[in-house]
A and B are shown apart, each in its own frame.
Chain A
């Protein structure tokens, strides 16, 4: 694949500032990179799964350079091992910083989990007990990462299939305390929230009430797989109706929050992903219009008609 040089309409290499990340974007995967460069679909921003782009050189670099001058970008990581007890991997973090410099990504996110122990990497987002000890530990590591990034880290809630008897905090309380201790920001994955609601009976109202919504920098939407007795956060399907309902509810509180469609397994044709992003745009618009309409009705002294916000 050959990549052409930047044309006059391109963005140049300026960093995507926070304001340039707006509306409904998609997670860019390798299989769509060439098509996105060729067809330049009108998606407002893209998110790179950073761990897929750690090549030292080659076509990878040329492709990302071409993408980064055409679209505002963010970086999403899975390897910082934020809750892990191994030392932070500075080589990995340097690679992420270099990738951010090369792509001008607006921000960097990773997950509230551990991924490695005793130098064995599991390539999974593994849960841990939400305790005061863990909060101090994760806070120190987030602060260290932020020192290196010279920017706030954006931390994502995860789907968890295990819970620990020792946990003294809910995930939302833990994230709230983490933002307080580190000034980090949040990536709220609504599919993860829904999966945990189904798998563990988590109270969505309590979760959203405990989370400092003002710190939510980005929202993720994805599909899940229905397994016998549980939901699997498989990122292999369209966003499910209950997750759309959660999104409509969230935008009442965060009308401008950037939202991203994630799809990592059984990846469909690019138009399917773009259609999901377009649906996110219309779902937001519809929800906000309903809010305005309801407010108008309420102002008239008649019955409030806002949509029910129950996700299930």
Chain B
């Protein structure tokens, strides 16, 4: 049996649908808005059918039914953030993390169907919250830790990039041609610099270590790279970090052509880069291609 209020709403709905039926896009806009903001649900309510007279007692109201979708949609995104940022969650605690995740979900819509791409700006979000939350400000390293967790996650799913064989490089270029060689960084590589010892912090938490003292040191310069299917975090020297940055930054001409080839080694040497770590970078699998040609 429908209540008087339900019948009234049904009559109201039918009357409205006959006089000003909204388009499919408008209905979808209203439902989407109601998921984003509970207050917007009232704009959808007139177009919903009355609650069904199913066998269940006390069926939820139409607005409560919208909330089922809202909760499920938000929970999917929250679970994704939990999966990507387990160490941040461990440090913050589940309740604090859930609150930060909820704020993030409010502020950052999911722009792709692929949920694995959601959460890229969480480090930015943490930094923004820290700026006005004194309690979080004591965890100054947290945004960089989140960046490390994001890179780890992204590298796991990155495209395959077979490492360059040093012999292939030798075969490609005679010594006098070396200055014309361009290299390509592995697509499964990211760099991260931090003023904090985030690699040690991250590792200790992943290992479940108890309270340990970690020296602040001079901060970290890290390479996150996937090898044999597994992401690895490798601390590198400032010179290597700088060289990898240059290799990943196409020359002006290459950038125009949207190429991923580096400037030539000659250009890099002329710009003052130290190329001596290059063999080690190749041996580590961080370089995935070489060419003598023009970028294209």
Contacts and interface: CB of A to CB of B under 8 A. Distances in A.
A and B assemble together: yes
Interface in A110-152: 114-124, 126-129, 131, 133-134, 137
Given A121-B111, A124-B35, A124-B73, A162 B48 contact: yes
Contacts of A83: 24, 28
A165 B10 contact: yes
A229 B58 contact: yes
A300 B111 CA distance: 64
Interface stretch (A16-24, A48-56, A170-178, A247-255): A48-56
A59 B229 contact: yes
B90 interface: no
Given A62-B229, A200-B54, A162 B160 contact: no
A10 interface: no
Given A121-B110, A198-B54, A199-B54, A164 B24 contact: no
A126 B35 CA distance: 10
Choose among A137, A166, A312 the residue with the greatest number of B CB atoms under 10 Å from its CB: A166
B111 A56 contact: no
Given A56-B157, A114-B28, A164-B48, A201 B69 contact: no
Contacts of B114: 51, 54, 79, 92, 95
Contacts of A116: 113
Interface string B42-78: 0000111100111111111010011011001100110
B32 A134 contact: no
B160 A229 contact: no
B206 interface: no
Choose among B23, B60, B115, B229 the residue with the greatest number of A CB atoms under 10 Å from its CB: B229
B258 interface: no
A123 B28 contact: no
A199 B17 CA distance: 23
Contacts of A61: 160
B109 interface: yes
A84 interface: yes
Contacts of B55: 198, 201, 312
Given A163-B52, A199-B54, A201-B53, A120 B47 contact: no
Nearest to B14: A165
Contact of A117 (B29, B72, B111, B187): B29
B140 to A, nearest CB: 32
B145 interface: no
Contacts of A200: 52, 54
A85 interface: yes
Contacts of B53: 201
Given A126-B31, A229-B59, A165 B47 contact: yes
B77 to A, nearest CB: 7
Given A162-B62, A229-B59, A230-B59, A120 B32 contact: yes
Interface of B: 10, 13-14, 16-17, 21-25, 27-29, 31-32, 35-36, 46-49, 52-60, 62, 65-66, 68-69, 72-73, 76-77, 109-116, 156-161, 187-188, 226, 229-230
Given A126-B35, A165-B17, 16 more contacts: A51-B114, A57-B160, A57-B187, A58-B160, A58-B188, A85-B28, A114-B28, A117-B28, A117-B29, A120-B32, A129-B47, A162-B65, A162-B69, A165-B46, A166-B21, A201-B54
6 contacts: A51-B114, A57-B188, A124-B73, A165-B13, A166-B17, A201-B54
